[in-house]
């Protein structure tokens, strides 16, 4: 008889359906004293919150005042998305144990799900005051602060969590998410122009951009030009004010040693407005820009008006189009307006590598003397930008310009940028 019972039991266990029935029967049995919490944890780990709720209800039927069972019941209700019921349970337990850090954390998580981050933050501060040596409380406070846009305070909270749990991988990721962005960018570049009718020209630039805060940006650049026998220096300074995230106003100018090959001085201002397109569309965003610049040469005056637009497309593609109307004025001659335009398409190639191709008509660059006068031109070109590391990049370009009177120009340039 014993052998028969043993054989029947083994047969039952070997059947998957039978094992499922046994598991359900075991879950339905009232837990032994002290085992109910372990069972709740196991059921939650197995993604069975409804069964876990039944266990907590069974425990509360035996001991209605068990605050631990009430706390777990609130957590299970939170897991099930039954927020009002979970809140009522948490508030009931906190009225008895107001300094319970676990329950304060649970209620803070509930407040976040309700879209009340400020209330969640207050609860987390109470929890940290009750138990200051818990890394999870500091981490959660950092996440709430990050969601509120209070980056500096979030960074301090994550640093506190790291001191308490230095090996926690999630804390390291959280710290990276609020790492202080570099405020300055140094740019070094060179440009070379070759012509079929005169000597090669070159220029070298050194620029420094500073992001003082979310609203103010400055940029200074000095460049040296070796062009048509003249050696010139151009010094540029500009200030950008960003009253809102996608709005920018820029003013600036140059003071130059022109040597007859570049303007003696320049002044400009720029308005920029961007934004996303609501809903799901082929176009992800739009950016509109207006740039107006004055050039004062030794024998000419130029005013250039340039409206432009950038269309942000899927998969990081961008299409840009700009039109320039330039008014050139020479001594003893009537002013003349000249149109020009450029269109450029930018697209990713592989990770960290972006390319662009462009086409322009007219004399699109009025910053040098050989772009003045009455001539027509077509320009084809392209460029590459390689993000070497998160704070370093290398970019270059090349273009060919075909002008009237059988003249042509081939140009290329290379620059290196470092953020720090």
For residue 290, the surrounding DSSP H or E stretch is strand 285-296
pLDDT tens digit sequence for 189-211: 999 999 999 999 999 999 999 99
Pick the closest to residue 293 from 360, 233, 365, 241 (CA basis).
365
pLDDT of residue 371: 77
Percent of the chain with pLDDT over 90: 74
Print the SS3 string covering 96-130.
CCCCCHHHHHHHHHHHHHCCCHHHHHHHHHHHHHH
Q: Given pLDDT bands bounded at 50, 70 and 90, which one contains residue 146?
A: very high
Q: Tokens 């230095």 sit at which residue? A: 166
Pick the closest to residue 320 from 359, 348, 292 (CA basis).
359
pLDDT tens digit sequence for 368-390: 877 776 677 899 999 999 999 88
Which pairing describes strands 230-244 and 247-257: parallel, antiparallel, or unpaired?
antiparallel
Q: Is the pLDDT of residue 11 over 80?
A: no
pLDDT of residue 25: 40
pLDDT tens digit sequence for 280-313: 678 989 999 999 999 999 889 999 999 999 999 9
Task: Copy the structure tokens of residue 355.
Answer: 């390319």
Cα–Cα distance, 364 to 304 (Å, whole number): 10
Q: Is the pLDDT of residue 28 over 70?
A: no
Cβ atoms of 141 and 104 within 8 Å: the answer is no
Task: Copy the structure tokens of residue 234.
Answer: 């151009």
Q: Is the pLDDT of residue 230 over 50?
A: yes
pLDDT of residue 349: 97
Pick the closest to residue 195 from 410, 419, 4, 417 (CA basis).
410
Cα end-to-end span (Å), the chain: 82
pLDDT of residue 65: 87
pLDDT of residue 19: 41
Q: Is the pLDDT of residue 47 over 80?
A: yes
Q: Given pLDDT bands bounded at 50, 70 and 90, which one contains residue 20?
A: very low
pLDDT of residue 34: 56
Q: What mean pLDDT do residues 231-251 have?
A: 96
Q: Does domain 184-419 fall into CATH 2.40.50.140?
A: no
The ranges assigned to domains in the chain are: 2-177, 184-419
Q: Is the pLDDT of residue 136 over 80?
A: yes
pTM over 0.85: no
Buried b or exposed e, range 205-230, using 16+ CB within 10 angstroms: bebebebeeeeebebebebebbbeee
For residue 361, the surrounding DSSP H or E stretch is strand 353-361
pLDDT of residue 31: 47
pLDDT tens digit sequence for 175-193: 988 887 789 999 999 999 9
Q: What mean pLDDT do residues 58-86 have?
A: 93
Cα–Cα distance, 52 to 27 (Å, whole number): 9
Is the Cα torsion angle 138, 140, 143, 148 positive or negative in sign?
A: negative
- Main-chain phi, psi angles of 417, to 5 degrees: -125, 140
pLDDT of residue 281: 75
Cβ atoms of 380 and 344 within 8 Å: the answer is no
Pick the closest to residue 286 from 299, 294, 277 (CA basis).
277
The CA-atom distances, in angstroms, between 217 and each of 213, 232, 323, 366 are 7, 27, 26, 25
Least confident of 198-202, 228-232, 254-258, 308-312: 228-232
Cβ atoms of 158 and 145 within 8 Å: the answer is no
Q: Which CATH superfamily is domain 2-177 in?
A: Tetratricopeptide repeat domain (1.25.40.10)
pLDDT of residue 376: 77
Q: Is 200 helix (H, G, I), strand (E, B) or coil?
A: coil
Q: Is the pLDDT of residue 323 over 70?
A: yes
Q: Given pLDDT bands bounded at 50, 70 and 90, which one contains residue 30?
A: very low
The CA-atom distances, in angstroms, between 387 and each of 210, 343, 392 are 20, 24, 6
Is the Cα torsion angle 242, 247, 248, 249 positive or negative in sign?
A: negative
The rounded mean pLDDT for the chain is: 89
Percent of the chain with pLDDT over 70: 90
Cα–Cα distance, 146 to 142 (Å, whole number): 6
pLDDT tens digit sequence for 100-120: 999 999 999 999 999 999 999
């Amino acid at each position: 008889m014993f052998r028969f019972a043993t054989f029947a039991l083994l047969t039952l266990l070997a059947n998957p359906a039978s094992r499922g029935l046994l598991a359900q029967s075991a879950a339905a049995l009232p837990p032994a004293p002290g085992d109910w919490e372990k069972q709740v944890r196991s059921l939650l780990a197995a993604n069975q919150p409804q069964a876990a709720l039944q266990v907590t209800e069974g425990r509360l039927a035996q001991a209605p005042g068990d605050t631990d069972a009430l706390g777990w019941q609130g957590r299970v209700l939170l897991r099930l998305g039954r927020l009002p019921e979970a809140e009522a349970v948490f508030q009931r337990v906190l009225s008895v144990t107001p300094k319970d850090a676990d329950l304060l954390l649970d209620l803070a998580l509930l407040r976040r799900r309700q879209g009340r981050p400020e209330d969640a933050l207050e609860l987390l501060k109470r929890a940290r005051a009750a138990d200051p040596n818990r890394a999870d409380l500091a981490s959660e406070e950092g996440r709430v602060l990050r969601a509120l846009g209070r980056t500096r305070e979030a960074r301090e909270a994550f640093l506190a969590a790291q001191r308490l749990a230095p090996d926690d991988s999630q804390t390291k990721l959280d710290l990276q998410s609020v790492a202080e962005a570099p405020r300055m960018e140094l740019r070094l570049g060179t440009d070379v122009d070759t012509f079929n009718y005169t000597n090669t020209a070159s220029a070298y630039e050194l620029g420094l951009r500073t992001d003082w805060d979310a609203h103010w940006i400055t940029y200074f650049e000095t460049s040296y030009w070796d062009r048509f026998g003249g050696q010139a220096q151009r010094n540029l300074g500009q200030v950008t004010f960003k009253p809102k995230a996608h709005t920018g106003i820029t003013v600036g100018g140059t003071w130059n040693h022109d040597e007859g090959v570049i303007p003696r001085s320049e002044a400009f201002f720029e308005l920029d407005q961007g934004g996303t397109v609501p809903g799901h569309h082929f176009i992800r965003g739009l950016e509109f820009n207006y740039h107006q610049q004055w050039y004062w040469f030794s024998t000419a005056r130029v005013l250039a008006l340039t409206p432009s637009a950038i269309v942000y497309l899927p998969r990081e593609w961008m299409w840009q189009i700009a039109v320039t109307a330039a008014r050139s004025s020479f001594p003893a001659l009537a002013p003349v307006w000249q149109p020009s335009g450029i269109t450029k398409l930018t697209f990713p190639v592989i990770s960290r590598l972006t390319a662009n191709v462009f086409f322009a008509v007219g004399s699109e660059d009025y910053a040098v003397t050989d772009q003045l006068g009455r001539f027509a031109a077509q320009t084809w070109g392209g460029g590459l930008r390689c993000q070497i590391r998160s704070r370093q990049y290398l970019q270059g370009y090349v273009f060919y310009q075909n002008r009237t009177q059988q003249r042509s120009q081939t140009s290329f340039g290379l620059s290196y940028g470092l953020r720090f």
